[in-house]
């Protein structure tokens, strides 16, 4: 099964993921994703520490244009996505 992880940094001016920023991510996810896991973390970009989010999606391809829409809605220089094949076990 395909796994996509989308790595999102926080706003460049605050380095904090506030309610408005999180709501923009959720709004995008409601439109483009069938289901996902939201993980908060701390990332580093260009030597600066910031709050971050990783969205993990299983079994769904995400078009580049949708990722570009997310990047633009968050006013980010870039976002990163990884795609992997994983074995899934459900019980």
CA-CA distance, 28 to 77, in Å (whole number)? Answer: 17
Check pLDDT > 90 for residue 3. Answer: yes
Indicate whether 38 pLDDT > 90: yes
Tell the residue number behind the tokens 């605050």, with chain if given: 14
Global pTM reads 0.92
What is the tens place of the pLDDT at every residue in 47-85?
889 999 999 999 999 999 999 999 999 999 999 999 999
Question: Residues 22-46: what's their mean pLDDT?
Answer: 95
Average pLDDT, the chain: 95
- pLDDT band, residue 46 (cuts 50/70/90): confident
C-alpha torsion sign, points 82, 90, 29, 48: negative
């Amino acid at each position: 099964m395909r796994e996509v992880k989308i790595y999102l940094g926080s706003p460049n001016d605050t380095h904090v993921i506030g309610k408005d920023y999180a709501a923009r991510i959720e709004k995008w996810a409601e439109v483009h994703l069938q289901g996902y896991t939201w993980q908060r973390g701390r990332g580093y970009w260009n030597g600066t520490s910031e709050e971050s989010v990783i969205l993990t999606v299983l079994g769904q391809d995400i078009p580049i244009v949708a990722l570009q829409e997310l990047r633009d809605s968050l006013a980010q220089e870039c976002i990163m996505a990884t795609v992997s094949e994983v074995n899934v076990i459900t019980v």
